Structure 1
Amino acid sequence: MKIAVLGTGMVGRTLAARLAELGHAVTVGTRDPQATLARTAPDPMGGDAYATWAAR
């Protein structure tokens, strides 16, 4: 199944990762892709920056 997850925060990344593990084709959306990929600091909960997380 093709699924889109809107949001690159903790909830969006958790949902996207689990759905991908289950074999779904997942696309993650954000308002400003360039700004999201440019962030290098960990998220507020201490998780990896989005670019690091997405590279897995």
Structure 2
Amino acid sequence: MDYIDYKDVRLLMMAIAERGKIQPRRISGTCAKCQRKLTTAIKRARQLALVPYVLD
């Protein structure tokens, strides 16, 4: 992954488990650097209400 955008909800939702938690590296299959970027993007999108904190 070159650039992870916090506005790309479809990409971010693939890295979130069914309960709304961010999936760990061993499950998502990302490298450490990409996982940090992905986590930051998910948290930013949550603050802007683009992605829910908890899924039903």
Q: Could you state the TM-score of these two structures normalised by the residue count of structure 1?
A: 0.30
Point out which structure has higher relative CO (alpha carbons under 8 A, 6+ apart).
2
Bigger CA radius of gyration: 1
Q: Could you state the TM-score of these two structures normalised by the residue count of structure 2?
A: 0.30
